[in-house]
Structure 1
Amino acid sequence: MTPNKTADNRNMFLFIALSMVILFGYQFFVLNPQMEKEQAAREKAAAAASADPATPNMPGVSGGAIVITREQAVARTPRIPIETPSLKGSLSLTGARFDDLFLTKYEETLDKNSPNVELFRPEGAQHAYYAESGWLGQNIAGLPNASTQWTLVSGDKLSVGKNVVLGYDNGAGLRFERTYAIDENYMITVTEKVINVSGVPVTLAPYANIVRDGVPESLGKNQILHEGAVGSFSKDASGTAYTRPELKFHSWEKDAKKKDFKQDSTGGWMGITDKYWLASVIPAQNKAVHAAMKATPKGNGEFIYQVGYVANPVTLKPGTQISETHHLFAGAKVSSILEGYQKSLGLPNFTWAIDWGFLWFLTQPMFWVLDQLYQFMGNFGLAILGLTVVVKLIFYPLAHKSYESMTKMKMLQPKVEELKKKYEGDAQKMQIEMMNMYQKEKVNPMTGCLPMLLQIPVFYALYKVLFVTIEMRHAPFFGYINDLSARDPSTIFNLFGLIPYDPATVPLIGSILGGPLHIGIVAILYGFTMWLTQGMNPPAPDPIQRKIFAFMPLMFTFIMAPFAVGLLIYWTWSNVLTIAQQYSIMHRLKVENPIDTFIGKFRKPTAETTQTATVTATAGDDDGKVIKGEVISGGTTAAGTKRSRKKKDV
């Protein structure tokens, strides 16, 4: 081994050894003490919370085995019917729970016999989901719980303008009364009253709770959408600054710091959300509460999710009564409805139950414009097209500059190829000459890229709006597209519906034909517009890159095909507008483009575009003689028009 190599190896091993010493030293002397300190602080806070009677814990929950159907679970307890323009179901007199609720304005599918969307279901059925409330206290017997049988005091049905009052006497001097009121949308008002006739003071703390016993595996899997616990809590007693925790299904329960989340707050709200639906408990906005979001393991790989709050305890003297009011939201996340409750009840960030994302400053205004267009046009698909046009108009000057720069780059492509051949093997010299050429022609390659990069957040925000808002769900467009939120129902494997069979039912390969290979009309149009857009741009300098780019339209056709057809329509229409803008620039500058090339194949020569002349020798001819018997025909070639030389008698 040479001395130089020996020294290099020695230096390499020395570098590795020093790196390991620094790494383990930092771990031992910095990170470990810091982690121990944080762990001690968490344990101290937990001990203080459990020892302080002013911060009672949330009531425990238990997930029972799945032994009965939903219908059986509903039938086993006496109930009060719920019926409003937006909700139907029943209130259980056992435990006074909201555990049977459907959304009457939404169906599970587009089938005419499809059931309404289910929100709540009783305990005992698979994936039970319910809301409950009540009182907590230490060493107080007979407090109402999940098995308490309440008595109907007044009302026979909970509906708009018709309240229901339930009562319960614990037999130990405490009388409980609960009044329910409901509006025409999704807000339920619950008023709890306790009367103390026991002769001794009692200390009670009101609570409200949302419980979900496991969730389908599909929930919480989408990376662009939040599904799980959500809320808005004040950071301090002033109630002016708020924090918005989001604990996602299938990750919330695995994080030791999140699975038992606690937050003191003045007012606020907390709930469990799906893509389109929300169940949330809302305390009085001037009340100090101890909020919690818990994920409790059931022992079978599933978890019980619990979101709610406990208010500060109140001492009730003999012969007195106390009353507490809270709200329960159970319904669809319609932006206008959430905004209305946010204003009327003073709720902080209630519209954020919709996952507007980190680009909220773009997504929320975009949705407002989209909603206005929808109200005007009456068709959500047309509203998508209109919003895309609005976005394109806003970015027109910027995009125009970008496309003009790319067009000039394409004009210079033949000269670039000449430089590559001339300076083959000398990359540095070629780059210098290319920069000189760009400077001479007043072309800046970066001008074509930067405006496009600035538009990426806007297009992502528009995609986010269309993905998360409920207005696109089951919204029809035209023709065979009757749900913009679903994938394109047409497929190439039955000639887009001309052959009456479902490829997904084909034995052995049906799951493939109806899955990854399910390519519809709109997906094909999207792939075509992407290919045409690429044809408008300057080709990549590297041959391998050119082959990769040529394959991308086909690849993205398969990638995008499973997306909601409304999103595909947006992407396709956006590509069409981009192509139109690029074509207008390229046609004006007489630069070759796929559209003019295609049209030129069907266009007959005219007197304006064809010239015929006798060609004589010029100074560059070899013999200075007239070239007899030949005529050159052709016109301007700035846009790539071919020149031809053909024989003709003179």
Structure 2
Amino acid sequence: MENKRNYFIAIALSVVIVIAWQFLYMNPRMEAQRKAEEAQQAQQAAQNAAKTTTAGSATATTGNLPNAGPAQATATREQALAKSERVQIDTPAISGSINLTGARFDDLKLRDYHETVDNSSPIITLFSPADTAEGYYSELGYVGSDNSGATPGPTTKWTVASGDKLTATTPVTLSYTNDNGVVFTRTISVDEHYMLTVDDKIQNPGSAPVTLSAYGRVTRNNKPSTPSVWVIHEGFLGYIGADGSLSEHTYANVEKEAVTNAKATGGWLGITDKYWAATIIPPQSMAYDSRFTHFTDGQPRYQADYKGDAVTIQPGQTTELKNMVFAGAKEVPLIDQYRDQGVPHFDLVIDWGWFYFITKPMFMLMDFFFRHVGNFGVAILLTTVVVKLLFFPLASKQYASMANMKRMQPKMEELKAKHGDDRMALQQATMALYKEEKINPIAGCWPVVLQIPIFFSLYKVIYTTIEMRHAPFFGWIQDLSAPDPTSLFNLFGALPYDVPHFLMIGVWPIVMGITMFLQMRMNPTPPDPTQAMLFTWMPLVFTYMLASFPSGLVIYWAWNNTLSVTQQAVIMKRHGAKIELFDNLKTLFKRKPAPTK
């Protein structure tokens, strides 16, 4: 029993150390590193701007692709949008415009998502023009050859052939004819969500073959303002090849060295944030090379791009190529829908983690409840009940084993008294007692071990999925993906002052700590003073550590503890074992007699 207790203490201490390391050391270090990187990038940009007199021309190339970056991003978003002719985008999900210079997607907002929980706050801006500080855009074009003439690139002036506004029901057609008479016709359509389809027709009316290569890229000037955490991938992402593999790289890794992926056919690539993504799906029958890079030639920028194998168009012939661009929110049902419609493994744009086979089914169960009750907080509670029911047989064995161990405590004491310091004899006698009473001393460990991936998977669901973003519960919890906004140290908002972040210990973390305290008091107080002190202070430590976790996870933990206490009480009573909770509470709060003089 003592070895078993030490085992749980070791697990608890390990968890405390990992959480403390993350929140007290790694997060401040990552924040400091992010600020240092931003300062370094700003300095580098200033140096490059001083050396560069022009923004570069369409013939300048970077890795065989036309240079897309300006010398320096100096314009405001409004100024940049006013510089060029544009075609408006207006769908139920997105708004913005297409830049006719380069036929570039560089103005895109997401109608369904706001910057804060306040619906009057601005909607999310995803794409912005290249010459703004927050520049983020996607572009499709061609790299020509000696016989192709000028090909569409970042400075190409397209004309509108048909359509004055891109909607879910009305596509837009653009046209460009180069100096060799080659006609490029681009038809852009969009669904009701976030998928843009670009169909290009290249007509060669001349007397000589034309050879060119398609390219596509997603480029952004800056990393996300909120530093990434270890639990989720943000940065470069792609499934390279229809039957290839997932390629994911952080911004920091690509800053050190560009990543060149193997030649592939099919798949997709782009840049992903926690909730949003911008990806290009090249023509699925075309072989291409792809890479993830970071440029400092002018405006520093991050870029995921591909270049297809050369295509030759014979005189009098027409070639068609189809690209798709996803730019929007990573909504789980929608992402799965695009996968089912032919984008291979597109569901991996959402970082489900190592326990994918647990995490995604858990989300699906939670989403099922949400669609019936309309509240993700209640859905978390119901999901917890289902998980408890699934683990009930194991938990029953765990608590039955604990009950039997308690029932055998008097006999264990007799064996200790009988064998004294003879450890070998005591161990043999103990094992014989276990066999006689049909007790498995490690049976109680398995439910704990098996529930670790369940807990981590739920954390991933709450922290990662956009469905949890700004999802309210009840009362003051208006965002289950954010920490509890209240604090004990201003009496939960009753006192008129703000509390430092490290003192933000809200109502739900305190409730979780209380339930954890009650759960631990269900068992006898350890005889060792050090262990007893550890068990007494552990709920308080976890209350502080989990105060900065998403409130949805804290609510889950509090509810799970409550169910565990109830379940343990019922099972122990069924096996005739004493429930120690009330005696432990009486002992804890019993006033010690004053010392006699």
* Superposition TM-score tier, normalisation by shorter sequence: 0.7 to 0.9
State the one-letter code of the partner of 1:264: K
State the one-letter code of the partner of 2:268: W
Match of 1:304 in 2: 301
Alpha-carbon distance between aligned partners in 1 of 2:413 and 2:251, rounded to the nearest angstrom: 55
State the one-letter code of the partner of 1:296: H
Match of 2:30 in 1: none
Per mean C-alpha deviation after superposition, the further-off stretch among 333-342 and 414-423 is: 414-423
SS in 2 for 1:447: coil
- Could you tell me whether the CA contact under 8 Å between 1:402 and 1:452 is conserved in 2? no
For each residue in 1:114-170, what CA deviation from the matched residue of structure 2 results, as whole angstroms up to 9, or x when unmatched? 111111111111231100001112235422221222222221111111111122222
Alpha-carbon distance between aligned partners in 2 of 1:598 and 1:550, rounded to the nearest angstrom: 11
Residues 262 and 400 of structure 1: CA distance in aligned 2, closer, same or farther (over 3 Å): same
Residues 59 and 541 of structure 1: CA distance in aligned 2, closer, same or farther (over 3 Å): farther
**Is 2:447 the counterpart of 1:451?**
yes
Match of 2:181 in 1: 173
**Is 2:503 the counterpart of 1:503?**
no
Residues 466 and 419 of structure 1: CA distance in aligned 2, closer, same or farther (over 3 Å): same
State the one-letter code of the partner of 1:213: N
Match of 1:186 in 2: 194
Alpha-carbon distance between aligned partners in 1 of 2:378 and 2:244, rounded to the nearest angstrom: 37
State the one-letter code of the partner of 1:493: F
Match of 2:565 in 1: 579
Per mean C-alpha deviation after superposition, the further-off stretch among 349-358 and 64-73 is: 64-73
For each residue in 1:238-281, what CA deviation from the matched residue of structure 2 results, as whole angstroms up to 9, or x when unmatched? x5x33111112323433x4xx22222222111121111111111
Q: Gaps (5+ residues) in structure 2? A: 1-62, 588-597
Alpha-carbon distance between aligned partners in 1 of 2:515 and 2:254, rounded to the nearest angstrom: 41
State the one-letter code of the partner of 1:178: R
- Aligned-pair distance for 1:102? 0.7
Residue 338 of structure 1 is aligned with which of 335, 338, 359?
335
- Could you tell me whether the CA contact under 8 Å between 2:281 and 2:323 is conserved in 1? yes
- Could you tell me whether the CA contact under 8 Å between 2:68 and 2:154 is conserved in 1? no
**Is 2:317 the counterpart of 1:323?**
no
Equivalent residues, number: 524
State the one-letter code of the partner of 1:367: F
Match of 1:295 in 2: 293
**Is 2:257 the counterpart of 1:250?**
no
State the one-letter code of the partner of 2:125: E
SS in 1 for 2:537: helix
For each residue in 1:170-193, what CA deviation from the matched residue of structure 2 results, as whole angstroms up to 9, or x when unmatched? 233222221111111111111112
SS in 1 for 2:502: coil
Trace 1:71-90 onto structure 2 (pairs within 5 A): 71-90=78-97
- Could you tell me whether the CA contact under 8 Å between 1:233 and 1:269 is conserved in 2? yes
- Could you tell me whether the CA contact under 8 Å between 2:86 and 2:97 is conserved in 1? yes
Per mean C-alpha deviation after superposition, the further-off stretch among 521-530 and 144-153 is: 144-153
State the one-letter code of the partner of 1:162: T
State the one-letter code of the partner of 1:268: G
SS in 2 for 1:110: coil
Q: Gaps (5+ residues) in structure 1? A: 1-55, 505-512, 602-650
**Is 2:547 the counterpart of 1:561?**
yes
- Could you tell me whether the CA contact under 8 Å between 1:228 and 1:274 is conserved in 2? yes
- Aligned-pair distance for 1:83? 0.8
Residues 569 and 291 of structure 1: CA distance in aligned 2, closer, same or farther (over 3 Å): farther
Per mean C-alpha deviation after superposition, the further-off stretch among 193-202 and 365-374 is: 193-202
Alpha-carbon distance between aligned partners in 1 of 2:90 and 2:117, rounded to the nearest angstrom: 23
The structure with the largest alpha-carbon Rg is 1
**Is 2:161 the counterpart of 1:162?**
no
- Aligned-pair distance for 1:594? 4.8
For each residue in 1:432-459, what CA deviation from the matched residue of structure 2 results, as whole angstroms up to 9, or x when unmatched? 4544544454432211112321232223
SS in 1 for 2:322: strand
Match of 2:151 in 1: 143
State the one-letter code of the partner of 1:177: T
- Could you tell me whether the CA contact under 8 Å between 2:236 and 2:292 is conserved in 1? no
Match of 2:461 in 1: 465
Using CA pairs under 8 Å that are at least 6 residues apart, name the structure with larger relative contact order, 1 or 2.
Answer: 2
Alpha-carbon distance between aligned partners in 2 of 1:249 and 1:538, rounded to the nearest angstrom: 51
- Could you tell me whether the CA contact under 8 Å between 1:203 and 1:314 is conserved in 2? yes
- Aligned-pair distance for 1:357? 1.4
Per mean C-alpha deviation after superposition, the further-off stretch among 66-75 and 549-558 is: 66-75
Trace 1:33-432 onto structure 2 (pairs within 5 A): 57-62=64-69, 64-139=71-146, 140-216=148-224, 218-219=226-227, 221-234=228-241, 239=242, 241-254=243-256, 256=257, 259-285=258-284, 287-298=285-296, 304-344=301-341, 346-413=342-409, 416=412, 427-428=423-424, 430-432=426-428
Alpha-carbon distance between aligned partners in 2 of 1:153 and 1:262, rounded to the nearest angstrom: 37
- Could you tell me whether the CA contact under 8 Å between 2:186 and 2:199 is conserved in 1? yes
- Could you tell me whether the CA contact under 8 Å between 1:476 and 1:483 is conserved in 2? yes
Alpha-carbon distance between aligned partners in 2 of 1:65 and 1:216, rounded to the nearest angstrom: 19
For each residue in 1:209-258, what CA deviation from the matched residue of structure 2 results, as whole angstroms up to 9, or x when unmatched? 11122213534x31111111222233xxxx5x33111112323433x4xx
SS in 2 for 1:62: coil
For each residue in 1:52-100, what CA deviation from the matched residue of structure 2 results, as whole angstroms up to 9, or x when unmatched? xxxx955444353232222222222221111100001111111111011
- Could you tell me whether the CA contact under 8 Å between 1:229 and 1:248 is conserved in 2? yes
Residue 482 of structure 2 is aligned with which of 482, 486, 493?
486
State the one-letter code of the partner of 1:206: A
- Could you tell me whether the CA contact under 8 Å between 1:466 and 1:566 is conserved in 2? yes
- Could you tell me whether the CA contact under 8 Å between 1:242 and 1:348 is conserved in 2? no
- Could you tell me whether the CA contact under 8 Å between 1:58 and 1:309 is conserved in 2? no
Alpha-carbon distance between aligned partners in 2 of 1:91 and 1:560, rounded to the nearest angstrom: 45
Residues 187 and 430 of structure 1: CA distance in aligned 2, closer, same or farther (over 3 Å): same
Match of 2:14 in 1: none
- Aligned-pair distance for 1:467? 2.1
SS in 1 for 2:478: coil
Percent of aligned positions that are identical: 44
Alpha-carbon distance between aligned partners in 2 of 1:410 and 1:516, rounded to the nearest angstrom: 40
TM-score, with length taken from structure 1: 0.75
- Could you tell me whether the CA contact under 8 Å between 1:410 and 1:537 is conserved in 2? no
Per mean C-alpha deviation after superposition, the further-off stretch among 113-122 and 537-546 is: 537-546
Alpha-carbon distance between aligned partners in 2 of 1:529 and 1:213, rounded to the nearest angstrom: 47
Alpha-carbon distance between aligned partners in 2 of 1:319 and 1:438, rounded to the nearest angstrom: 88
Residues 598 and 497 of structure 1: CA distance in aligned 2, closer, same or farther (over 3 Å): farther
- Aligned-pair distance for 1:424? 6.6
- Aligned-pair distance for 1:421? 7.2
- Aligned-pair distance for 1:518? 0.4
SS in 1 for 2:485: coil
Alpha-carbon distance between aligned partners in 2 of 1:546 and 1:63, rounded to the nearest angstrom: 64
Alpha-carbon distance between aligned partners in 1 of 2:80 and 2:115, rounded to the nearest angstrom: 21
Residues 292 and 578 of structure 1: CA distance in aligned 2, closer, same or farther (over 3 Å): same
- Could you tell me whether the CA contact under 8 Å between 2:400 and 2:575 is conserved in 1? no
Alpha-carbon distance between aligned partners in 2 of 1:289 and 1:541, rounded to the nearest angstrom: 69
SS in 2 for 1:498: coil
Residues 558 and 64 of structure 1: CA distance in aligned 2, closer, same or farther (over 3 Å): farther
- Aligned-pair distance for 1:429? 5.0
For each residue in 1:469-494, what CA deviation from the matched residue of structure 2 results, as whole angstroms up to 9, or x when unmatched? 11111111111211111111111122
Per mean C-alpha deviation after superposition, the further-off stretch among 559-568 and 243-252 is: 243-252
- Could you tell me whether the CA contact under 8 Å between 1:253 and 1:303 is conserved in 2? no
TM-score, with length taken from structure 2: 0.82
RMSD, matched Cα: 2.5
SS in 1 for 2:521: helix
- Could you tell me whether the CA contact under 8 Å between 1:402 and 1:451 is conserved in 2? yes
- Aligned-pair distance for 1:343? 1.8
Alpha-carbon distance between aligned partners in 2 of 1:64 and 1:587, rounded to the nearest angstrom: 75
